Amino acid sequence: MRAIEPIAVEDIRSAQKRIADAILRTPLVRLAADVPGGEVWLKLENLQPIGSFKLRGAANAMRLAAPESLRRGVVTASAGNMAQGVAWNARRMGIPCTVIVPEHAPGTKLAAIERLGGKIVKLPFDRWWQTVIDHGHPDVPGYFVHPVSDPAVIAGNGTIGLEILEDLPDAASILVPYGGGGLSCGVACAVRGSGSAAKVWACEVETAAPFSRSLVAGKPVETDYHPSFVDGIGARTLLEEMWPLARAVLAGSLTASIEQVAAAVRMLVDRARVVAEGAGATPLAAALAGKAGPGKTVCVISGGNIDSKKLVEILMGAE
């Protein structure tokens, strides 16, 4: 196992310049709602052209890749958002893109991949997860852009942290969804490297919270996994190569129930007219539960690619 080292803030600042023309510098807006502990601010990554922060890491990794390595195109393994990030950038660069997806990937995200010109390969969840662990699949050629544990991807993700501090330098807590750790660790490296005292918290859903369980155990452990509409985060296990970094740079894990995440999705629509997918609403769910502590809290709304039917069900009161 090759453990991922902390990303230098200089690399994140370089990434910020490198991808400036490929991404939207998303707004940071205050939520007009009473929340335990203090103010809540929303970093609206759901407004990216693909509806997700994944555009950042994909752009940085692909722009850093040697041209000869891209001749056969690019490949990624993703439930949807990283797939769209890689496909979006591949289309701009004029190279083919193949996406390996788990069989439970939602139709909304699959349709988006196809609109962007990506070729889809479906695998059972366990085999798909093994592709993530192995950094590729032997039967799918191309330059593999890892959805999580690639320093270039993490640096691209970390540009969100730089933007937050530029807009709200006195932030006390930054809450970030934890899927594989690439987003939360990238933000944490940017915050630490900038000298800010803000704490960066991972946020998980109780139905699939391997980081929380691993922190309790003091080592990576398996946990129960129950699929839900929160499909952008959660797995049975951690990526072990991310464990040392995540444990070192993150303040801990804040978990929320399915019911709390659904309530956060509804609040975002009702109070802010913001559409978030389950993973993107999980930080707000934790903040609404009073878990973020005092001071100004930033919730990274990581994406808005929720199935329309599921969104209607949630707005009508379902979980």
Q: What is the pLDDT of residues 243-267, one digit of tens each?
A: 999 999 999 999 999 999 999 999 9
Residues 68 and 90 in one domain: yes
The stretch 39-49 carries a mean pLDDT of 97
Residues 40 and 111 in one domain: no
CA distance 216 to 204: 14
CA distance 285 to 43: 14
The stretch 6-18 carries a mean pLDDT of 98
Residue 168 pLDDT more than 80?
Answer: yes
Residues 178 and 297 in one domain: yes
For 126-184, the three-class secondary structure string (H helix, E strand, C coil) is HHHHHHHHHCCCCCCCCEECCCCCCHHHHHHHHHHHHHHHHHCCCCCEEEEECCCCHHH
CA distance 141 to 121: 12
Residues 209 and 220 in one domain: yes
Residues 106 and 159 in one domain: no
User: How many Cα atoms are found within 13 Å in the side-chain-facing hemisphere of 153?
Assistant: 22
165 within 8 A of 292, measured Cβ to Cβ: no
Residues 294 and 180 in one domain: yes
Residue 224 pLDDT more than 90?
Answer: no
Could you give the percent of the chain with pLDDT greater than 90?
82
Answer yes or no: is 35 within a domain: yes
The stretch 2-18 carries a mean pLDDT of 95
Q: How confident is the model at residue 300 (pLDDT cuts 50, 70, 90)?
A: very high
Q: Which positions ≥6 away from 264 have C-beta within 8 Å?
A: 256, 276, 281, 282, 284, 285, 288
Residues 80 and 215 in one domain: no
Residues 139 and 157 in one domain: no
The stretch 291-317 carries a mean pLDDT of 93
Q: What is the model's pLDDT at position 236?
A: 85
Q: Name the helix (H) or strand (E) containing 200.
A: strand 199-205
Final residue in a domain of this structure, among 129, 144, 159: 144
The stretch 206-226 carries a mean pLDDT of 93
Bridge partners of 97, per DSSP, are 74
Answer yes or no: is 111 within a domain: yes
What CATH number has the domain bearing residue 128? 3.40.50.1100
Final residue in a domain of this structure, among 121, 144, 167: 144
The stretch 266-282 carries a mean pLDDT of 96
Average pLDDT across the chain, whole number: 94
pTM: 0.95
The stretch 214-220 carries a mean pLDDT of 95
Q: What is the model's pLDDT at position 60?
A: 98
Answer yes or no: is 1 within a domain: no
Q: How confident is the model at residue 317 (pLDDT cuts 50, 70, 90)?
A: confident
Angle between helical axes of 81-93 and 107-115 (0-180°, round to 10) = 10
* 87-112 per-position pLDDT tens digit: 999 999 999 999 999 887 777 778 88
Residues 136 and 204 in one domain: no
Final residue in a domain of this structure, among 99, 123, 144: 144
Residues 299 and 203 in one domain: yes
Q: What is the model's pLDDT at position 292?
A: 92
CA distance 286 to 177: 10
Considering 68-82, 166-180, 213-227, the range whose residues carry the highest mean pLDDT is 166-180
The stretch 5-14 carries a mean pLDDT of 97
Q: How confident is the model at residue 35 (pLDDT cuts 50, 70, 90)?
A: confident
Q: What is the model's pLDDT at position 1?
A: 59
Residues 195 and 287 in one domain: yes
Could you give the percent of the chain with pLDDT greater than 70?
99
DSSP label of 303: B
Answer yes or no: is 45 within a domain: yes
Bridge partners of 144, per DSSP, are 75
The stretch 123-135 carries a mean pLDDT of 90
Domain of 76? 55-144
Domains identified in the chain, total number: 2
Residues 169 and 293 in one domain: yes
The stretch 267-293 carries a mean pLDDT of 96
SS3 315: helix
CA distance 87 to 85: 6
Residue 234 pLDDT more than 90?
Answer: no
Answer yes or no: is 2 within a domain: no
- Closest to 251 (Cα-Cα) out of 187, 169, 164: 187
| Structure-model confidence comparison of residues 104 and 83, the more confident one | 83
Query: End-to-end alpha-carbon separation of the chain, Å?
Result: 38
Answer yes or no: is 173 within a domain: yes
Q: What is the model's pLDDT at position 285?
A: 97
